[in-house]
Amino acid sequence: MSLGKQLIDWRRELHRHPELSGQEVETTARLRQWLSAADINILPYDLQTGIVAEIGKGSKHIALRADIDALPIEERSGVAFSSQNPGVMHACGHDVHTSVILGAALQLKAREADLQGRVRILFQPAEENFGGAKSLVRAGALHDISAIFGMHNEPGLPVGAFATRGGPFYANVDRFVFRVTGKGAHAARPHEGSDAIVLASQLVTALQSVASRNINTLDSVVLSVTRIEGGNTWNVLPESVELEGTLRTHRTEVQQNVKARVGEIAAGFASAFNAQIDITWYAGPTALVNDERWADFATSIARETGYETQHADLHMGGEDFAVYLQHIPGAFVSIGSASPFGLHHPAFNPDEALIEPAAHYFSQLAEKALHHI
């Protein structure tokens, strides 16, 4: 069987059997089986899910990372190998990332005697809940590693396209929850209460002014309310309403300024409406900051291996690969997947033609990076 067909078969098997973050037990077992069959050394890290392998010998170490978890989405892609797990889907393409890095591992194994060091392969769980990278770091998977590389497929780019950038790339991710507490009342006698729905509605509108009027327009900011919940019947003003949403930035200073302004707006509305607004912030991954040198190096290898390279735009999504880059230098890259539907969409369907060339790219990147550390 050709390498390309093997990688697509593996990708489809992973796609049929997706597992949520922290539950990737069968996925881990499959990876262990495939790596063992290729005589690739599996390292004995203490991990509940996920697996780490290593190829080569010597004192130089670089790492490649793939993420392996899926999303709580009911698939509607219509492909013959659709998810067999109801309500779970590889809607972000982690099955593709895994097959790419598996392919790179097989190619590196075939040239193991010629490698000028070791390549550690991280098949990371729980990227979607931003916990997996931290678990691998705690387990020691970055020990002795000098540089790390990873990828995300990019549905907005054609197959054969490559993009990355030095410096900030993916965004800080914060989740917020507002608990708006007024005073309930009969809908016919609103003057006897303090209407939490009216307050919440005005608060949503006011928050939109933060990015447009309080932050330098040259800085990247997304502040979005994504959920509103309140009330349980038609003729009662509810006592409380809950709002939930996300803040995305690329600079810590901007992040803190937005949080401070949001707090001021909430306090002002609470006073004006004789109500209470409690805000809880939940931190996701920090901004992903590529090392300039390794981003340039990754681009040069992409050009050598036949990609059309371009300078990536700032990305407002979150990516826990950022955790690794807080510890060691490296680069995260985008590879075109040409899906007509975007990431996290139930009809997401990346073009499998990207897999074999990307596997070759990462094997070359790893092998040549060992000469530059």
List residues forming the annotated binding site for Mn(2+): 92, 94, 128, 152, 344
Question: Any residues with CB less than 8 A from the CB of 304 and at least 6 apart, and which?
Answer: 364
CB burial of residue 85 (10 Å; 0-12, 13-18, 19+):
middle
CA atoms within 13 A on the CB side of 283: 8
Q: What angle do CA 343, 346, 350 make, to 5 degrees?
A: 50
Residue with tokens 């490296």: 330
Return binding residues: 92, 94, 128, 152, 344
Pairing of strands 118-124, 61-67: parallel
Evaluate whether 68 touches 125 at the Cβ level (below 8 Å).
yes
B/e letters for 329-351, b = 16+ CB within 10 Å, e = fewer, are bbbbbbbbbbbeeebebeebbbb
Count Cα neighbours of 302 within 13 Å in the Cβ-side half-sphere. 27
- Residue 16's nearest CA partner among 93, 98, 80 is 80
Which residue is listed with tokens 């939940």?
282
Main-chain dihedrals φ then ψ at residue 128, nearest 5 degrees: -65, -25
Which secondary-structure segment (H or E) carries 42? Answer: strand 41-42
Place of tokens 């939109």: 208
